[in-house]
A and B are shown apart, each in its own frame.
Chain A
Amino acid sequence: MRDVFIVFRKELREILRDRRTLTAIALAVIATPTILFVISQVSVKTATQTYTIGYSGQIPAGLEVLFTATGLKLERVDDPAAAAKRQVDIGLAFSASGIDEYYDPTRQSAQIADIRVQTILGRYDAAKIAATLQEKGVDPSILDPLPVRSHPLSSPTQAASNAFLSFFLPYILITMSLTGGLSAALDSSAGERERKTLESLLLTPAPRGQLLIGKILAVSTISLLAAVASIGSMLVALSQISFGNGGGQNEHVALSPLAATVMLWLAVLLAASFSSVTIALGTLARNFRQGQAYATPLYFITIFPASIVLFIPDFNPGVAYYLIPILNAVLVLRDAIVHNSIEWTALAVTSVSLILTGALCFYAALRLFTREALLVRS
């Protein structure tokens, strides 16, 4: 195992002197908080934004106050329908028979204004009806014969935070585990061949299997570092950034210790598997550029399972699904974040699946690394 350590230390030293790898990791660490900051600003701005209602006719008493208190500015216009096309966000024409609403659904501001108007008008109608019934001596609760009392078993705001994390975290974990070490993997395989150092390396008495393990360990370390650094920067950013929810409450998003532990374990397994795959592909390639071409499809293969939680948030598969590499990691991590618990069977199946995948990829890389064609094919 001494040779493994020698190769590991040398590869790590070279990687840490490689601007490409360091730049990629630094960009990922900076990019995640930046994107989250932009999202939070847009979110806060959307929640506190004032929208303009262009209206005609007589506004019923009291309604004006409600509109203003909900961030809706009133502006008298001659033709609400024409004004709603561009001049204002929504047009309302008040008449004795009711209210005509004009808005352009292709405009996001019109959609948000419409939701606010509908909410205000619903409450206004309910209050009016209740007042009328009370005047006539009728209990207004007659309008709500089956009242619903909600008892959330966990904090709804925490649930929203978890849902947010359950999408972003697996996505970042998987993409960074792959891309964080990609450059290093190709450099230590295809690059070794391109620089004409491979033959000298294979001439040493060190067993080829140990040379390969040293390389995979170094690339895995960088992949893991990249993934943990990105997620760390994301969590630090989330602990500082507030997301406006329109209800006057600001919540910070945090990862539970259990989910963090599961995430680290999965990161180790994914980094080892991806490193073996990318080094195997790099060994097939004659140079760095060809290695990049071989590795490009990996982006699509990995991003699709990472996105499944976005498309099917309530996807609750059987144990067999946990045999599928990458998808299983996404599902286990999602469960750990959303439910703050571990399904041990699922975690065991996932671990075995990822370890087997890594072992198969290592075997493939070793076969490629020990064949004569590696040297004969220039």
Chain B
Amino acid sequence: MAAAVKVARLEKTLGSNKVLRGISFEAHSEEIFGLLGPNGAGKTTTLRIICTLLAPDAGSVGVLGFDTRTAPQEVRRRVGVVTAEIGVYPRLSARENIAYFAELSGLLDGDLDRRVDAVIERLDMASFASQRAESLSSGQKQKVAIARAIVHDPPVLMFDEPTSNLDVLASREIRQFMVESKGRGKCVIFSTHVLHDAERLCDRVTIIHQGRVVADGATADVRRGYQDLEDSFLALVETAK
């Protein structure tokens, strides 16, 4: 199967800190791919390069055949990103927040209303869709953040520590949503340091540490020989030191 996201020998320095030192991996459609590593390993920087917010110093990233350097707008049309930051426009309603991003993603009038209604229904947001975002709970804001990321129906979805600010119920909904998206044929990239979540959800994982890949493969293969993924992760990181 052709890779939906192909990262090759990626390098990036931010200030004086060399964050990425030649990272390579591939993520496919119809799978949840885990990008794992401790804080500061370079996960967020990698995702930001994939979605064209940052430019790589070396290496390349392709998303469904489009290079992030030469066709950044085409890449952005095909990617949806959910982060731990659930910033929303407080003076717009939940629906207006979603519609704004839908319009900027290129959806036109009829299509726009249909898609906005669809994501509101899919994420069970109808009860608060007309409320101003400033009055929403954290869980409701997270739903708005997910809705705006998927409203243009992107084939690639990236989740960067999406549950770090959420309670148990909201976290479970996010996990369910990732599984559901995989079922719909999406390529789901899940960046996290919560290895328990990764072990339950991910088909394949890449573990990075200090800007380098220390393990890559099917989740079951990476944890083989250890009690769980966490033990495997700790051993790999220790070896890398």
Contacts and interface: CB of A to CB of B under 8 A. Distances in A.
Interface of A: 3, 6-7, 10, 13-14, 17-18, 195-207, 372, 375-376
Interface of B: 14-15, 48, 51, 53-55, 73-74, 76-77, 79, 81, 83, 85-92, 96, 100-101, 103-106, 145, 148-149
Contacts of B92: 10, 13-14
Contact of B148 (A13, A18, A200, A372): A200
B105 A205 contact: yes
A197 B51 CA distance: 16
A3 B53 contact: no
Contacts of B145: 200
A242 B42 CA distance: 71
Given A200-B145, A203-B81, A205-B76, A195 B87 contact: yes
The secondary structure that dominates the A interface is helix
B91 A204 contact: no
Contacts of B89: 10, 14, 195, 197
A205 B103 CA distance: 10
A205 B105 CA distance: 6
A370 to B, nearest CB: 11
A200 B101 contact: yes
Nearest to B15: A376
A73 to B, nearest CB: 61
B100 A6 contact: yes
A375 B87 CA distance: 14
B201 to A, nearest CB: 23
Contacts of A376: 14-15, 54
A274 B86 CA distance: 31
B78 to A, nearest CB: 9
15 contacts: A10-B96, A13-B91, A13-B96, A195-B88, A196-B85, A196-B87, A199-B85, A200-B145, A201-B104, A204-B104, A205-B105, A205-B106, A372-B14, A372-B53, A376-B14
Contacts of B79: 203
Given A202-B53, A203-B81, 5 more contacts: A14-B91, A198-B87, A201-B104, A203-B53, A205-B74
B73 A207 contact: yes
A375 B54 contact: yes
B87 A200 contact: yes
A14 B96 CA distance: 11
B100 A10 contact: yes
Nearest to A17: B91
Contacts of B149: 200, 203
Contacts of A198: 87
B100 A203 contact: no
Contact of A204 (B15, B96, B101): B101
Given A14-B92, A18-B91, A199-B53, A3 B85 contact: no
Contacts of A10: 89, 92, 96, 100
Contacts of B14: 372, 376
A197 B53 CA distance: 14
Top 10 closest A-B pairs, CB basis? A196-B87, A204-B104, A196-B85, A17-B91, A197-B87, A205-B76, A195-B87, A205-B73, A206-B104, A6-B103
A321 to B, nearest CB: 43
A204 B81 CA distance: 10
Contact of A205 (B55, B96, B100, B104): B104
A8 to B, nearest CB: 12
A43 to B, nearest CB: 43
Contacts of A14: 89, 91-92
A109 to B, nearest CB: 53
A59 B15 CA distance: 90
Nearest to B81: A203
A196 B86 contact: yes
A195 B83 CA distance: 13
A126 B180 CA distance: 104
A203 B91 contact: no
A199 B90 contact: no
B85 A204 contact: no
B94 to A, nearest CB: 14
A6 B79 CA distance: 20
Nearest to A214: B104
A373 to B, nearest CB: 9
A199 B104 contact: no
A353 B194 CA distance: 57
Contacts of A7: 104
Contacts of A195: 87-90
Contacts of B74: 205
